Amino acid sequence: MNNRLSIFFLVFSLPVIVAIIVLSNMAGYENAEFWSIELNFVITSILLIACIVNNFKIGKGGQHGRAWLFFTLAIALWYIAERVWTIPELTNSDSTFSYADLFWFSGYVFYFLFGVMFLKPFSSQISRKNILATSLSVVAVLIFIFYITIPSSNISENILNASYPIADSIMLIPSILGIFLFFKGRIKFSWSLFFFGMLVFVGSDFGFMYFNSTGDYYDGHLIDIPYLYAYSIFIAGLIANLNLWNKTDKNKPFNEQDKLI
C-alpha cells in the first residue's frame, strides 16, 4: 500500500509540474517566473511539513532517528534558501555570494550526514570496488562540469561556481551507493527514493549551472522541471516511510527490519 501511494504521487506530480512549467513558458517569461516560484513554494512547503511529521513519528533516538533529523534540517535549510532566492533585496547585490548560498551549502552538509548515517548499517554490503567506482564516476562528472560552467575570469565568481559542482558531486557519492543497495535488493524502493531524488536534484543543478553560465537561465526555465520533481520524489519517499514505520519492530535496528529489506 505504501509503495502504491508513493508511485501514484510520482505519476501524478510529474505531468502536473511539466504542464504548469511548459504552459507558463508559452505564455511568457513573467508567467513562467510566477508559476515556477508558486509551484516551488507549494512543493517545498509540503515536503518540509512531511519531514517534520516524519520526525515526530519516528523520534530522534538512535542512529536512524538522528539520520532523519539531519534530513529534515537539510530540507529546512534548502526551504529557507528557496525563499531567500525570491527576495531581490537579499540576492541582488554587489557581492558574489548571497544569503541563499549560505543556506544551500549548510543543507548539503546535513544531507551528506543523513546519507552516511543511513548507509553505515549497510556498510558490509558495500565493497571497496563499489566505493572506488562511484568516486571515479563522480570525479569524471565533476571535471566535465568544471569544463562547461566556469568560463569567468572573476576569481570570487569562479570560487562560487566551483563550490556548487563540488558540493553536488559529494552528494552523488551516498546517492549512488544507496541506489546500488536498492538494485542489490537490500533496501526497498520507497527508501531508495531519497537517493533517486538527490540524483535528479544534482542533475538539474548541473543543468542550472550550464544554462546560467551561458546566460540562458531565468526563473521558470524548463530545467526547473527536474528540479521541482526532485522535491516531489522526496515527498513520495516520505509518504511511504510514514506508512512503513507502522509495521516495524521498534526493538530492531532499521537495517534488520524484515519490512525494510
**What is the pLDDT at residue 248?**
52
- The 10s digit of each residue's pLDDT in 65-97 is 888 899 999 999 999 999 988 776 445 554 456
- The 10s digit of each residue's pLDDT in 157-176 is 556 667 788 888 888 888 88
b/e 206-227 (16+ beta carbons within 10 angstroms → b): bbbbebbbeeebebbbebbbbb
**What is the pLDDT at residue 244?**
58
- Inform me whether the pLDDT recorded for 259 exceeds 50: no
Share of the chain above pLDDT 90, in %: 35
User: Which architecture characterizes domain 2-256 according to CATH?
Assistant: Up-down Bundle (1.20)
- Inform me whether the pLDDT recorded for 250 exceeds 80: no
